[in-house]
Amino acid sequence: MKNARFDSVGLYRLLLKLYPARFREEYQGPMERQFRDEYRDASTTGERTRLWTTALLDVVRQAPVQLISEVRQDLRYTVRVYRKRSMRGALAIVALALAIGGSTGVFGVVNAVLIRSLPFADPENLVEISGSPVAPTNGRPAFIAWRDASPYLRSAAVYSTSEMNLGRERGALRVKVSETSANLFEVLGAKPLLGRAFSSEEDSPGRTGVGVIGYGLWQQAFGGDRGVIGAKILVNGVPIEVIGVAPQRFDYPGGTALWVPTVFDFERIPKRGAFFFHTLGRLSIPPALAGHLFEAEVARVNPAASKEEIENRPRLIPLRERLAGPVRSAIWVLGGLVVFVLLAACANVAQLLLSRASERREEFAMRAALGASRARLIQQLVTEAIALTGCSAAIGLVVAHQVCKMASLIVPATLASQEYTILDWRVLLFAVGLTTAAGIFFGVAPVLARWVTAEDALRAHTATSGRDTLRLRWALLALQCGLTLTLAAGSLAMGRSFLRLLDVDLGFTPASAVTMNVSLQGTKRDGKAARSYYAEALQRLRAVPGVEAAGAVGYLPLVSQVQMAGSLKLDSGQVMNAIVMNGASPDYFRAIGTPFVAGSDFRSGDPNPAVIVNEAFARMTGLDERIVGRRLTAPWTSNQYEIVGVVRTARFAGPSHPGGPMAYWSIEEEAPPTLTLVARVRASGEASIAMCRDAVRSVDIGVPIYDVKTLERRLSDTLARPRFYAEATFLLGLIAVVIAVAGIYGSAARSVAQRRREMGIRMAIGATNRQVRSLVLREVLIPAAAGAGAGIVGALAGGRYIRSLIANAEPITLEVCTAAAVVLLSIAFAAAWRATTHVSSIHPAEVIRVD
Partner 1 sequence: MRSRTAVESLLPLPLPVFHMLLSLSDGERHGYALKREILQRTQGKLNLGSGALYGSINKMLEQGLIEESEERPDPHLDDERRRYYRITSLGRKVAQAEALRLRDLVNLAEIRLGLSEPA
In the complex with partner 1, the residue whose CB is nearer, 36 or 207, is 36
- Beta-carbon contacts of 53 under 8 Å, excluding residues fewer than 6 positions away, are none
- Tell me how far, at minimum, the Cβ of 30 lies from partner 1, in Å: 5
- Tell me how far, at minimum, the Cβ of 55 lies from partner 1, in Å: 7
- Tell me how far, at minimum, the Cβ of 60 lies from partner 1, in Å: 9
User: By CB under 8 A, which span of 32-40, 98-106, 155-163, 759-767 interacts with partner 1?
Assistant: 32-40
- Tell me how far, at minimum, the Cβ of 43 lies from partner 1, in Å: 17
Per DSSP, the residues of 307-320 read GS-TTTS-EEEEHH
SS3 per-residue string spanning 498-516 = HHHHHHCCCCCCCCCEEEE
Of residues 578-607, which lie at the interface with partner 1 (CB under 8 A)?
none
Per DSSP, the residues of 336-366 read HHHHHHHHHHHHHHHHHHHHHHHHTHHHHHH
User: By CB under 8 A, which span of 24-32, 537-545, 602-610, 617-625 interacts with partner 1?
Assistant: 24-32
Contacting residue, 30, 303, 371, 605, with partner 1 by CB under 8 A = 30
User: By CB under 8 A, which span of 27-35, 133-141, 723-731, 777-785 interacts with partner 1?
Assistant: 27-35
User: By CB under 8 A, which span of 21-29, 257-265, 422-430, 606-614 interacts with partner 1?
Assistant: 21-29
Distance, in Å, from the CA atom of 97 to the CA atom of 397, rounded to the nearest integer, reads 8
- Tell me how far, at minimum, the Cβ of 71 lies from partner 1, in Å: 15
- Tell me how far, at minimum, the Cβ of 14 lies from partner 1, in Å: 15
- Of 186, 246, 187, 237, nearest in space to 211 by CA: 246
- Beta-carbon contacts of 228 under 8 Å, excluding residues fewer than 6 positions away, are 194, 213, 218, 222, 242, 245
Packing angle between helix 327-359 and helix 86-110, nearest 10 degrees? 160
In the complex with partner 1, the residue whose CB is nearer, 26 or 694, is 26
- Tell me how far, at minimum, the Cβ of 801 lies from partner 1, in Å: 58
Contacting residue, 17, 33, 657, 778, with partner 1 by CB under 8 A = 33
Of residues 34-73, which lie at the interface with partner 1 (CB under 8 A)?
34-35, 37, 54-55, 57-59, 61-63, 65-66
In the complex with partner 1, the residue whose CB is nearer, 26 or 455, is 26
Query: Pairing mode, if any, of strands 153-167 and 278-283?
Result: antiparallel
- Tell me how far, at minimum, the Cβ of 23 lies from partner 1, in Å: 7
In the complex with partner 1, the residue whose CB is nearer, 36 or 249, is 36
The answer to whether 631 and 643 have CB atoms below 8 angstroms apart is: yes
Contacting residue, 8, 9, 25, 27, with partner 1 by CB under 8 A = 27
754: exposed, middle or buried (Cβ count in 10 Å: 0-12, 13-18, 19+): middle
In the complex with partner 1, the residue whose CB is nearer, 57 or 145, is 57
In the complex with partner 1, the residue whose CB is nearer, 37 or 321, is 37
Distance, in Å, from the CA atom of 345 to the CA atom of 93, rounded to the nearest integer, reads 10
Strand partners for 645 = 599, 612
Distance, in Å, from the CA atom of 659 to the CA atom of 427, rounded to the nearest integer, reads 42
- Tell me how far, at minimum, the Cβ of 82 lies from partner 1, in Å: 23
In the complex with partner 1, the residue whose CB is nearer, 61 or 307, is 61
Packing angle between helix 327-359 and helix 769-805, nearest 10 degrees? 160
Strand partners for 180 = 159
Contacting residue, 23, 39, 264, 508, with partner 1 by CB under 8 A = 23
The answer to whether 122 and 189 have CB atoms below 8 angstroms apart is: yes
At 219 the three-state DSSP class reads: helix
Q: Please provide residue 842's backbone torsions phi and psi, each rounded to the nearest 5 degrees.
A: -75, 125
In the complex with partner 1, the residue whose CB is nearer, 35 or 617, is 35
The answer to whether 608 and 658 have CB atoms below 8 angstroms apart is: no
DSSP-assigned letter for residue 571:
T
In the complex with partner 1, the residue whose CB is nearer, 55 or 736, is 55
| Count of residues touching partner 1 (by CB under 8 A) | 20
Rule CB under 8 A: say whether 84 interacts with partner 1: no
| Helical spans, DSSP H, in 504-579 | 530-543
In the complex with partner 1, the residue whose CB is nearer, 62 or 837, is 62
| Helical spans, DSSP H, in 360-424 | 361-369, 374-410
- CA Rg, the chain, in Å? 37
Q: Where are the beta strands (DSSP E) in 214-319?
A: 232-235, 238-245, 258-260, 278-283, 315-318
- Tell me how far, at minimum, the Cβ of 26 lies from partner 1, in Å: 7
User: By CB under 8 A, which span of 29-37, 399-407, 574-582, 800-808 interacts with partner 1?
Assistant: 29-37
Residues in contact with partner 1 by the rule CB under 8 A: 19, 23, 26-27, 30-31, 33-35, 37, 54-55, 57-59, 61-63, 65-66
